[in-house]
Structure formats: structure tokens, C-alpha cells
Amino acid sequence: MHTSIQAFQLIHIDIWGSFSVTSYSGHQLFLTIVDDYSRFSWLFLMKSKSETRGLLSNFLIYVHTQFNTSIKTIRTDNGQEFNMPTFYQDHGIIHQTTCVETPEQNGRVERKHQHLLNVARSLMFQTKLPLTYWTDCILTSTHIINRTSSLILQNQTPYQILFNKPPTYNYFRVFGCLCFANTLTHNRGKFQPRATKCIFLGYPPHIKGYKVLDLTTCKTFVSRNVIFHESIFPSIPNTVHTHLVFPDFPQFFYSFPCKSSQQTPSYSLLPATLPLQTSAPPTSTLIPNDISQLRRSARTTHPPHYLQQYYCGTMAQIPSADPISPNCSIPGKPHSLFYFLSTSQLSLQHRAFTSSISLVFEPTTYKQASSIPHWQKAMTNEIIALEQNQTWDLVLLPHNKSAIGCKLVYKVKFQADGKVERYKARLVAKGYTQQEGIDFFDTYSPVAKMTTVRVFLTIAAVNNWHLHQLDVDNAFLHGDLHEKVYMQLPPGYSTPHDPRVCKLKKSIYGLKQASRQWFSKLSTSLLLFGFLQAKSDSSLFIRKTTNSFITVLIYVDDVIITSNTFTKINQVKQFL
């Protein structure tokens, strides 16, 4: 229904966008204003929605000056950008909004959008311009539609109704066609070209000229002196004319300015190394999609350049990388740090060192470790060692007894030069769940006093005795357990319905009495060997024979031995 009886009685406004592709001019949205009476449309490109208010107030002034009238009513949807009541009040404008989620109430402008985009799409398809030039398509389509007659306007054009004069069409040209724009005189030598190859990009408002895109510099400018070749579209390289007349057209596409290259991959991702097809290549291969397919099959594959930022990329470049190091080339996103940090400045050895340090990681839970083979192996080794040592019996848990938990702890042992020595998994009991009086009684274990250590060393120094140290592997596992302690099955070896538990025979790491049991075991065997425990420090053991003197000092699992004869030390070591 044609409700308005004069122009600007009612205007419909809407915003289109934001479009995912930013145009070469930086625009993502446009504001459409449709006059209800004449159906004339104004289209304003925008970079953000906040420009709406300024555009709208400029439009009011424009209408007032040009048409000597004022806008009575504005109809919009409920967009926040249109919500400026004081602005409307100042101009005495009625602001009509649609109901929520009812865009059909703003149907005039929505329908206009459909029309505009239909035309713009067809322009785009005809010319095959890159998507970043969508703004020129949409502006040109507005220009055309305003000058196209419509049935609803009794076969008149919006232009005619608004301006009361028929539009002229003699300046119309085919959008996207090849044209030659005259070069400017002031920088032009006598033997320089008088014109440059361009693409026609539409009609600039209020200028008598054409907007063209220079194919050599990829800049847009407005020129009046243009010669058009309206049957040739430079952006479509497979037209016969293109090859015959302009063999270097593809070059244009390879250097086409694309602000959002990801949306125009068939153009911008083509490498500049592709030979220009001067020797008449088959025309079909120059269709952009075909080109990219051809490219994919022809080129040698190498890892994407972004992978150079990965540590796995660094490792891949180092053939001498430590073979024990886990192969961590798990694809994934690079850590954001690597946008700022690069190892490429380091020497090869240093890079290998850095990566081998950072590659090694110690899992904290069974879940993490169980997925990595070398940790699995370490865990299996630990369990096998414990079973060979007869650490436990598998029994059913008696009534009114509770089993304490256990877990595996993981540690990477390094050699002095930073190489991984081995991966070590250690089963520890959760000793903190033990109950005093049931699971353990005494926990005290003597350690050497520091003064004793110093006296020990002083005497050894003065007497010039041999000094040796002894590291006991799995020291705590040697201790016998007198209490009845039940432990759950180690993680990875238990099933949810397995009723069995481990009845510990040896003290394992983590038990409260572990160090005590170890010390008592060690001291018993030393006493059996003929040592005497010193009264003044119970971690000191001394054995004196007629011509030999040997002392042993114990600090948990660190043991120092000193003796006047070397053979005695070896005897003790053998014994232990």
C-alpha cells in the first residue's frame, strides 16, 4: 500500500552487515535509507554501527537543504544504534520501531536490501572481482536501481519521482569492464603511456567522472577521460580477448590487493613464481579454482611455515636429537609465547639442548603417564622390581581393616650434560592415611648429627683415611614391616571390582615407619657384621680390629664409610 503522499513523509532505515569481509576501503556495514514515497534509496558505507547517528543527522540536513522539506517519520527496527530519543525530539520526528523479532514491519527496507544484493551479486558474478570489492558492487547496484523503473511506481523510476525529471542513461557503462583512463599530464613524459589499464568500478556521487581501479598500481581514482572496452572483463582471465590482447593479465591477480585474503584464496594465495602464461597456456587452466588444484599437485610438499614456530619443528631440524627424548611432535596450536620467542637465533647444539630440556615433562597423575610409552615402561619396571623383591602378598582385605592408598610419582633423571638418564616411576604409599597404633607405632629414626659428620670428616682428614659414600638403591624397600599394613592395588593394575589388596611385607616409600624400618634393618645387619653402635650418636657404627678401623655413618639412605684400609671398605660394600 502506498501510504505516503509526498517524499520524506516516511523513511525506512536499516543497517546491513556486518559482513565478514572487510572491503578494501575498510567498510563492513552499510546504512540504507529508503524513501517510502519515491522508493529512492541512499546507501552509506560504514565501518561501525556508531557512525549511524552522524549519518542520520547529515541526512536530515541534506533533505532540508535539497528538498526544502523535513522528514516526518522514521521507521526502523529495534537496533540500539537507532535508539536516540532526544535526537528525534529535537527534530520533531516520530520514530516508529518494529515489534521484537518482526522484521516484516520494516519490510520496505528489508525488501530493498534483497533487491540491492540481488543486483550486486549479479555484478560480482559477471565481473568476478575479488570479494573485497563488494562495496563497489553494492553502490553501483543502488545507483542502477534508483534509475530503474518499477511497476509499483507506475513504471516510473524513483529518480523521476524524487527529482521530477527523468534520469539520463548515456553515461552508463558496464560494471567491471576494461577501460583506459587518461594519465595525468603533470608527471608524464613524452614517451610515457597516455593511458593506464583500469577496471570500471562505478559512479562516484556528485562527480562527473568514473571511478576506476588502476591495474598496475591497484589504486582507485576518478577520471573523466576514460575509454571503455565494455566486452572485456580483465578480472576474468579466460576470455579469449584477454589472451589475445592482454597477455599479462594474470599478474594483476597475483598482486591483487586483498585486505582479507582468507576470503579470496583462489586469487591471493597464488604464488608470484607462477610463470606468466606468455606461451599460450591452455585457457581452461587459468580459471582460478583449477589453478589452485594444479598447484597442489605440482609443488613439493614441506611443512607449513607456521610449524617452524613449534618445538617439534625445531626437533625435526636436528638430526642428532636425543633418541630417548619423547617424540612430541603432536600437532596442535603453538603456545602463544612462541609468537614472541624463537629459538632460531640459537646455535644448533644450544637449540637441541633447549628443546630437550623443555621437551621432558613429568606427569603428575597416572592418567597422564599411562598414555606415554616410556612412562608406561617405567611403571611396569617399578612394579616388577617390587614384586621380585617380594614386597607384598595379594590377599583379600580382612574385615574391620582398611587399605591405605598408593600412587605413582614420576621423575626424570638427568645426566650432568642434560641428557635424559632414565624415566623413573616410584610407587609410594599414601602414608598420611595410616592410623597410629594400627598401621604404625614408632616412626623415629635416628639421623647423624651434623657435628658428628664434621667430627667424622675431621678425624678422617687428620688420619688420612679413605672416605667413601654408598648410595643404596631402593633403600626403604629393604626394611621389613612388622605391622599388618594393607595397601590398595597400584593404579593401572586394579579393576573396580577386584577385592584383593596388597598385604605389605616390606616397607615401601611413603609409609610413616619406612625410614625407621630401613634404619633398623641396616643397623641389625651392621651389628651382625661386627660393628658397634656408638652411644654418643646412634647413627654411627664403628668396628675396630687389631689393624683395621672402620666407621660407618648413616643419614637415612646416604651412608659414608671411612677406614684406614681400602679393602675393609670394599668388604663392607660387598656385605651391604
Residue-wise burial string across 165-190, b where 16 or more C-beta atoms lie within 10 A, e elsewhere: eeeeeeeeebbbbbbbbebeeeeeee
Binding part of the chain for other proteins, among 118-126, 262-270, 456-464, 518-526 by CB under 8 A, reads 456-464
Among 91, 422, 424, 468, binds other proteins (CB under 8 A): 468
Query: Would you say 280 or 450 has its CB closer to other proteins?
Result: 450
Q: Is 558 one of the binding residues for other proteins (CB under 8 A)? A: yes
Q: Is 551 one of the binding residues for other proteins (CB under 8 A)? A: yes
Among 300, 320, 371, 464, binds other proteins (CB under 8 A): 464
* CA dihedral angle for residue 487, residue 444, residue 557, residue 365, rounded to 10 degrees: 40
Q: Is 446 one of the binding residues for other proteins (CB under 8 A)? A: no
Q: What is the largest CA-CA distance in the chain?
A: 133
* Rounded Cα distance, 504 and 140, in Å: 87
Terminal-residue alpha carbon distance, the chain: 107
Binding part of the chain for other proteins, among 219-227, 361-369, 378-386, 466-474 by CB under 8 A, reads 466-474
Q: In angstroms, what is the minimal distance from the CB of 469 to other proteins?
A: 5
Q: Is 450 one of the binding residues for other proteins (CB under 8 A)? A: yes
Q: Is 454 one of the binding residues for other proteins (CB under 8 A)? A: yes
Q: Is 474 one of the binding residues for other proteins (CB under 8 A)? A: no
Q: In angstroms, what is the minimal distance from the CB of 539 to other proteins?
A: 12
Among 84, 93, 372, 453, binds other proteins (CB under 8 A): 453
Q: In what order do the strands lie in the sheet with 500-504?
A: 392-396, 500-504, 486-487
Binding part of the chain for other proteins, among 69-77, 130-138, 353-361, 550-558 by CB under 8 A, reads 550-558
Q: Do 340 and 437 form a contact (C-beta atoms < 8 A)? A: no
Among 33, 386, 420, 460, binds other proteins (CB under 8 A): 460
Among 537, 550, 552, 572, binds other proteins (CB under 8 A): 537
Among 3, 192, 289, 469, binds other proteins (CB under 8 A): 469
Q: For the residues of 23-66, what is the DSSP string, one character each?
A: PTTS--EEEEEEETTT--EEEEEESSGGGHHHHHHHHHHHHHHH
> Which residues are 544's β-sheet partners?
549
Query: Would you say 163 or 555 has its CB closer to other proteins?
Result: 555
Q: In angstroms, what is the minimal distance from the CB of 341 to other proteins?
A: 20
* Rounded Cα distance, 220 and 197, in Å: 12
Among 45, 177, 540, 552, binds other proteins (CB under 8 A): 540
One-letter amino acid at 545 equals T
State the residue for C-alpha cell 543527522: 57
Among 535, 546, 547, 574, binds other proteins (CB under 8 A): 535
Q: Is 461 one of the binding residues for other proteins (CB under 8 A)? A: yes
Among 182, 283, 452, 564, binds other proteins (CB under 8 A): 452
State the residue for C-alpha cell 509526498: 6
* Rounded Cα distance, 526 and 561, in Å: 12
- Tell which residue, 227, 217, 290, has the closest CA to residue 257: 217
Q: For binding to other proteins (CB under 8 A), which residues are involved? A: 450-462, 464, 467-471, 534-537, 540, 542, 544, 549, 551, 555, 558, 560, 573
